[in-house]
Amino acid sequence: MAFRRSEAPAATDTTNGVPIPVKIVIAGGFAVGKTTFVGSISEITPLTTEAAMTQVAAGIDDTGEATTKTSTTVAMDFGRISLGDDLILYLFGTPGQDRFRFMWDDLVRGAIGAVVLVDTSRLEDCFSAVDYFESNGVPFVVAVNAFHGRLHHSLDAVRSALSIPEDVPVIRTDARDRAATKLALLELVQHALLRASS
Amino acid sequence: MSDDFDGVDRTLRVRPYALTGGRTRSANDLPIETIVKATLRGLSMASQLTLERKRILTMCTVPLSIAEVSAYMHIPLGVARVLVGDMSAEDLLETNQTPVARFGDRPDIKLLERVLDGLQAL
């Protein structure tokens, strides 16, 4: 790899016997395979939590009136991977649609970055996720989910259709396959490291 | 019948935000991946606590994230955050968050390297 190992002493030791959490966001359109992706590598069956929309979201949601109170909730599936005794990686699968953006600021705060899952037959579903991560400086990789081992478009075609900058990895993955999801996560962490080192 | 592993119906019988007195914020606003664990003080006080707080304490004798507390308790994330935030302010729970680099809000390089090593070793 191009980045150098830091030689500073570990600043990440647990202080009180409670493990350190880290998180990665798995984004993408409806039914693109986010929960499958999380489930293929999580040590627990993916859990679901519900976030309720508050009035903070007023004006962001496109349901109309800026002051309308809504009771929308969005379900988020997540999994966990223990990396040793004192480090736990959480994977949060989150909807990529514009109307769920209200929760992204919260979700990406402190995150390593995001894997944007893409179905090549519905490329447009990931536009808003890519826009969001790009404009907010969140490290991300684009992982094209090859359903039944087939891609409808080449990775280069996907990169150019989504206008993904050269330094952002566009990779192929298979959400059902643990080895493939592991590679996608590794790709993201390496990308985040490169960005943090530069 | 619920889908819980112990066969006990854990569905809430009150409106979720009634548990927080209607508050959507705790004095201690914690990220959803914050890991929490019961303190000795918390365990020693468990018998005096409300049902929900007692359940959180019992659950968190092993370290769990706020997201897991929310999922296992069947309460919205916002409610779990307030409950856990209050309990940690009262020293019933201890917490740990992602250490982030001095500038920005991303994990520092040392931590990213540990994650990379950990993932590679899976």
User: Residue B73: which of B27, B25, B26, B20 has the closest Cα?
Assistant: B20
Residue B73 within any structural domain of the chain: yes
Residue A82 CA, distance from chain mean position: 18
* Residue B11 covered by a domain: no
Determine, yes or no, domain membership for B5: no
Give residue B87's domain range. Answer: 16-120
pLDDT at residue A7, as a whole number: 46
Give domain status of residue B70, yes or no. Answer: yes
pLDDT of residue A60: 46
Q: A74 — contact with chain B (CB < 8 Å)?
A: no
* pLDDT for res A13: 41
Q: Which of B77, B101, B110 sits opposite A10 (nearest CB)?
A: B110
Q: What is the pTM of this model?
A: 0.84
Given A51, A81, A89, which is nearest B76 (Cβ)?
A51
Residue B96, in any domain of the structure: yes
- Position A16 scores a pLDDT of 60
| For range B101-118, the mean pLDDT | 88
| Range B43-57 average pLDDT | 94
Would an 8 Å CB–CB cutoff place A15 in contact with chain B?
yes
Strands (E) across chain A are located at 20-28, 47-52, 73-82, 87-95, 113-118, 140-145, 170-173
* More confident of the two residues B95 and B17: B95
Contact A20/B at CB under 8 A: yes
Query: Between residues B9 and B96, which one has the greater pLDDT?
Result: B96
pLDDT at A133: 93
Closest approach of A70 to chain B, Cα-based (Å) = 15
Query: What confidence tens digit (pLDDT) does each residue in B59-92 have?
Result: 999 999 999 999 999 998 889 999 999 999 999 9
Q: Could you say which residues of chain A have pLDDT below 70?
A: 1-16, 52-73, 96-102, 148-150
pLDDT confidence of B11, banded at 50, 70, 90? low
CB contact under 8 A, B68 and A80: yes
Task: Name which of B4, B5, B33 to mutate to probe chain A: the one with the most chain A Cβ atoms within 10 A of its Cβ.
Answer: B33
CA of A20 vs chain B CAs: smallest distance (Å):
6
Q: What is the pLDDT of residue B68?
A: 97
Q: What is the pLDDT of residue A30?
A: 82
**Could you tell me if residue B9 is inside a domain?**
no
Question: What burial letters (b/e) apply to A72-96, b meaning 16+ CB within 10 Å?
Answer: eebebbbbbbebeebbbbbbbbbbb
Asked whether residue B34 is assigned to any structural domain, the reply reads yes
- State how far the Cα of B115 lies from the Cα of A4, in Å rounded to an integer: 15
Instruction: Determine the distance in angstroms separating the CA of B64 from the nearest CA of chain A, rounded to an integer.
Output: 9
Sketch the domain layout of chain A as residue ranges: 20-197
Min Cα–Cα distance to chain B from A105, Å: 11
| ipTM confidence | 0.83
Question: Does the beta carbon of A189 lie under 8 angstroms from any beta carbon of chain B?
Answer: yes
Fold of A20-197: Rossmann fold (3.40.50)
Closest residue of B to A197, CA-based?
Answer: B109
- Asked if the Cβ–Cβ distance from B119 to A182 is below 8 Å, we say yes
pLDDT above 70: residue B45: yes
Confidence of residue B14 (pLDDT cuts 50, 70, 90): low
Q: How far apart are CA B122 and CA B110, in angstroms?
A: 19
Asked if the Cβ–Cβ distance from A112 to B115 is below 8 Å, we say yes
Number of domains observed in the structure of chain B: 1
SS3 per residue for chain B: CCCCCCCCCCCCCCCHHHHHCCCCCCCCCCCCCCEEEECHHHHHHHHHCCHHHHHHHHHCCCCEEHHHHHHHHCCCHHHHHHHHHHHHHCCCEEEECCCECCCCCCECHHHHHHHHHHHHCC
Q: Is residue B7 part of a domain?
A: no
Q: What is the mean pLDDT of chain B?
A: 85
Task: Specify the pLDDT at position B88.
Answer: 94
Contact A192 B112 (CB under 8 A): yes
Beta bridge pairs of residue B86: none
Contact A89 B118 (CB under 8 A): yes
Residue of B5, B35, B108 to mutate, interface with A, max A Cβ within 10 Å:
B35
| CB proximity A22 to B under 8 Å | yes
Residue of B nearest to A191 (CA): B112
Shortest CA distance to A115 belongs to which of A28, A174, A40, A45? A28
